[in-house]
Chain A
Amino acid sequence: EDQVTQSPEALRLQEGESSSLNCSYTVSGLRGLFWYRQDPGKGPEFLFTLYSAGEEKEKERLKATLTKKESFLHITAPKPEDSATYLCAVQPAEGYSTLTFGKGTMLLVSP
């Protein structure tokens, strides 16, 4: 059974204080690992897809990295508008294109 564990559950940062979110996963063959951002009362918003160990992707203050067991979402010099819940999900290589999500990390960035 595919499993995704995200840590920490919640993270409070000061504006400009860089940090990382962790996503540990077990999957029987990985097709892709996805990061989404979710604001309160909204649906998840796609950020990145990573396909193989060693891959990195960046978007503004966010950088996602992938190893064979985990992924990190690095947030550099965050701003209050980066406050949201960040969700990690895995898509198995076999079978259908469904995603297994973690519970998310709730990030709060204070000015």
Chain B
Amino acid sequence: GAGVSQTPSNKVTEKGKYVELRCDPISGHTALYWYRQSLGQGPEFLIYFQGTGAADDSGLPNDRFFAVRPEGSVSTLKIQRTERGDSAVYLCASSLTGSQAFFGQGTRLTVV
């Protein structure tokens, strides 16, 4: 596709449930990033992939959060045992290494 695609656009889940958020990056972009944005805040870094490997996962808040990118393209962010504090917009971005990142529209996650 022409841009970064994220699905679903909205997700409502119950506290304690497991969720998966998907990101399709721009074709050919080797770098992929996940950010989380709360209301009134700037995006907060979660994890960075270079190819298939997680080069930097220092932003993941705890071990309930995990992300994969098995073939170096599509990435999935996985959240176990969701909590109300996980509610936010989850943004994915991709780039050619070292250049500007292009963001998707985000997935709005609401934990009730």
Which A residues lie at the B interface, using CB under 8 A? 4, 34, 36, 41-46, 49, 87, 89, 95-104
B43 touches A101 (CB 8 A): yes
Tell me the smallest distance from the CB of A36 to a CB of chain B, in Å: 8
The SS class assigned to the A binding surface is loop
A-B contact pairs, 21 of them (CB 8 A): A4-B42, A36-B103, A41-B105, A42-B105, A42-B106, A43-B4, A43-B105, A44-B43, A44-B103, A45-B103, A46-B102, A87-B42, A96-B48, A97-B95, A98-B48, A98-B59, A99-B33, A101-B43, A102-B42, A103-B40, A104-B42
B100 touches A49 (CB 8 A): yes
Residues of B within 8 A of A101 (CB): 35, 42-44
Complex A-B, nearest 6 residue pairs according to Cβ-Cβ distance, in ascending order: A101-B42, A43-B103, A96-B56, A44-B103, A98-B45, A101-B43
Tell me the smallest distance from the CB of A99 to a CB of chain B, in Å: 7
